[in-house]
Amino acid sequence: MTGPDERLAQFVFTLRSKGITDERVLTALEKTDRAAFIRGTFAGRSYDDMPLPIECGQTISQPSVVGLMSQALRVGPRDTVLEIGTGSGYQAAVLGRLARRVYTIERFRRLTEAAQARFRALDIHNVTVFTGDGSHGLPAQAPFDRILVTAAAEDPPGPLLAQLREGGIMVVPVGQSDTVQTLIKVTRTAQGLEYDELGPVRFVPLVEGLGDD
């Protein structure tokens, strides 16, 4: 029988073995209890490195993917981050430990309300949740130091690129929703946008408009 300490140690070992080396990111993952973002019987599998179902037919991402995306973003403690696709709120909570301020947008109101309730219960005060179509970003709060898209787009959305500060980084899965997509890192430099491919990923699609729930 393995106890909570052994499970946490195994969790961190798995994250390291999947390429997460940034100690701030590892600590943020270690301290963010994934079980608090999962309802029902699946909460018992929170340390498993796999996506799990949440409400509205969506998924909470695999912890190692949350770690690799957070690491690729290179979030600093003074950064303002925009996340598209709140889902359970887990990735936003991890980003909240790395950044000064996090804004996150979700198209399903039910998920927005559940995430908000979790942040309140966990005393997370630097993450703000909005219901809306995240592909338009949040012009009133722009520009952002970092932007993370946690749903697959056919191309990096133009409004999000426009809301990225000079020196800023955006990480986004790009490709068709029914295939393996490519994780792309976009950096805005004084000369323009630079694109780097980070590897294959599989995400639910970025969908236009609000969800029914």
For the annotated catalytic residues, the residue numbers are: 61
Reference 138, options 188, 87, 177, 101; nearest CA is 101
Contact 38, 46 (CB under 8 A): yes
Q: Could you say which residues in the range 112-151 bind ligand SAM, by CB under 6 A?
A: 133-135, 150-151
d(CA 202, CA 101): 27
- For ligand SAM (CB under 6 A), the number of binding residues is 25
Looking at 20, 26, 75, 111, which residue binds ligand SAM (CB under 6 A)?
A: 111
C-alpha dist (Å) from residue 175 to 23, 143, 146, 172, 206: 30, 25, 21, 10, 10
Looking at 160, 164, 170, 206, which residue binds ligand SAM (CB under 6 A)?
A: 206
Shorter beta-carbon distance to ligand SAM: residue 50 or 167 = 50
Report residue 153: phi and psi, to 5°.
-110, 155
90 lines the binding site for ligand SAM (CB under 6 A): yes
Amino acid at 136: H
Query: Containing H/E element for 167?
Result: strand 164-174
Among left, alpha and beta (phi > 0; psi -120 to 50; other), residue 149 is beta
61 lines the binding site for ligand SAM (CB under 6 A): yes
Sign of the alpha-carbon torsion through 161, 59, 102, 130: positive
The residue range among 6-14, 74-82, 105-113, 183-191 that interacts with ligand SAM, by the rule CB under 6 A, is 105-113
Looking at 46, 64, 80, 88, which residue binds ligand SAM (CB under 6 A)?
A: 88
Q: Smallest distance from the beta carbon of 141 to ligand SAM, in angstroms?
A: 15
106 lines the binding site for ligand SAM (CB under 6 A): yes
Q: Smallest distance from the beta carbon of 192 to ligand SAM, in angstroms?
A: 25
d(CA 167, CA 184): 16
59 lines the binding site for ligand SAM (CB under 6 A): yes
107 lines the binding site for ligand SAM (CB under 6 A): yes
108 lines the binding site for ligand SAM (CB under 6 A): yes
Binding site for ligand SAM (CB under 6 A): 58-61, 84-85, 87-88, 90-91, 105-108, 111, 133-135, 150-151, 203-204, 206-207, 211
